[in-house]
Amino acid sequence: MLSASHPLWIHFFLQPSLAITVFRRLLPLTKIVLWVAALYVAFDTVVIRTGFYFNYLEPESIAGSVLLNRTLVEHRVDKSRANVIVLGDSRVGEGFSAKQANEIAKDTKLNFIGCGIPGSTPRVCNYFLRKIDPERTQFSAVVIMTDALTDAEVNEDFVNYKLDLNYCLPLLNWSDLQSFPATFSKPELQERARSLITFPLAFAQTDIKALLLHPIDRARKASLWQSNYANGTDDYAGQSVALPDLELEGAPLHPRDWADIRESIRPQLRDYIALASGYYPRPPVALAKNYHRLWYEKIARAYQAKGVPVYVFLMPRGPYHRKLACPTALAGSLAELSAEGIIRFIPPERYAALEIPGNFFDQLHMNSTGRAQLTDLLAHALMEQKL
């Protein structure tokens, strides 16, 4: 006689009729579960894995900005010329004009493509370049910004920058299931990264619901943005507003007089000055060093295999960096990568010289005056390389 304490499988093994009865009762539920799973897999395969959904992604979302820049590259690549992509975050979007650079280089074969993805990081740049240039043959040179000449300047833990998950949503595939989560050090972000790749539908459910509620409106909006983004970027001339020259004092440093500063940017400007002057704690230098080495080297090695150079340049870091006595010489991981010949670092002195308030409209972004100067420097630096 079997007791209730025996494992269930023993009951099934010794009493086959019991197993058959249970199976018959569970069969309808099992069919439902299998049908739901099959529908999910089919929807995921047809809508997500084929890229169909991403054609209608909200263009003003984080992932949408990635796809808009992919569209920009597709529109601007000229196979008859030497394409040079200048890649970074919104500071590249505000601080570099591909249209102006191409005018400067009109007597050469260079074709500059400016690609500023707001809020993006070197990790995002790596996967973005893999997506738009899987064979690493579209560009004659890749130019990537950095906002730190030394590892000690990095003021955020970019290893665990969780917004990178949103940026990478349209850039990842099954082959990244092990490697991408491993680039984060926090277990909860590693788990979210695995879920992003395995169940992208769940990750994007808010946007998918909005799409299903208003499919025609979304399709029109996505089409409009994709059609006009490249030309709109070319025609953008930058912001005309300039910050005033301020006298800084106190601890932490702050402007003696805020009168000439727009009230809307005072909190951001206060934080920028405190961060740049070292008032707030920063991540361990080793963390930033490992992060820089991982992503800049990964990008460079992929292109190095095809004989394509990867250049890194200093994006002017802020309007008052010269007053704050920030580093002006290259040191740390990027200096090592440059010395090893893995990346080519464009000499930073003239770029650091642009770090004055007259070239900025807020604490991070260059205005039209700074944009023109930075574009001129980059265009001539690449022209001198004889690509």
pLDDT, tens digit, for every residue of 336-349? Answer: 999 999 999 999 99
Give yes or no for a contact between 83 and 138, defined as CB atoms under 8 angstroms apart. Answer: yes
Is 223 found in the same domain as 98?
A: yes
Check pLDDT > 80 for residue 377: yes
Same domain, 199 and 325: yes
Residue that is written with structure tokens 């991403």 in the block: 54
Q: Say if residue 177 is in the same domain as residue 277.
A: yes
Token representation of residue 193: 């990264």
**Is 3 part of any domain?**
no
Question: Is there a single domain that holds both residue 91 and residue 210?
Answer: yes
Let me know if residue 147 belongs to a domain. Answer: yes
Give pLDDT tens digits for 163-197.
Answer: 999 999 999 999 999 999 999 999 999 999 999 99
68, 44: one domain: no
Indicate the number of domains in the chain: 2
Q: What is the pLDDT of residue 16?
A: 59
Please tell me whether residues 306 and 323 are part of one structural domain: yes
Question: What is the span of the domain harbouring residue 28?
Answer: 8-49
**Claim to verify: residue 162 and residue 110 sit in the same structural domain:** yes
Is 183 among the domain residues? yes
In a domain, 115, yes or no: yes
Directed axis angle between helix 122-132 and helix 62-76, to 10°?
50
> Per-residue pLDDT tens for 240-298?
999 999 998 887 788 888 888 899 999 999 999 988 888 888 899 999 999 999 999 99
| 1 in any annotated domain | no
127: tokens are: 């996967």
Beta-ladder partners of 83: 111
Provide mean pLDDT across the span 72-94.
Answer: 97
**Per-residue confidence (pLDDT) for residue 142, from 0 to 100:** 98
For residues 328 and 295, the answer to whether their CB atoms sit within 8 Å is no
Same domain, 40 and 172: no
Residue pLDDT, tens place only, 53-70 = 899 999 999 999 999 999
CA distance 69 to 86: 12
Q: Are residues 165 and 227 in the same domain?
A: yes
Are 41 and 171 in a shared domain?
Answer: no
pTM of the model: 0.89
Which three-class secondary structure state does DSSP give residue 280? coil
β-bridge mates for residue 114, sequence order: 86
130 with 267, same domain?
yes
CB 117 within 8 A of CB 89: yes
pLDDT for residue 49: 76
pLDDT of residue 20: 63
In a domain, 254, yes or no: yes
Q: Are residues 17 and 131 in the same domain?
A: no
Classify residue 228: in a domain, yes or no. Answer: yes
Last residue of a domain, one of 16, 33, 49: 49
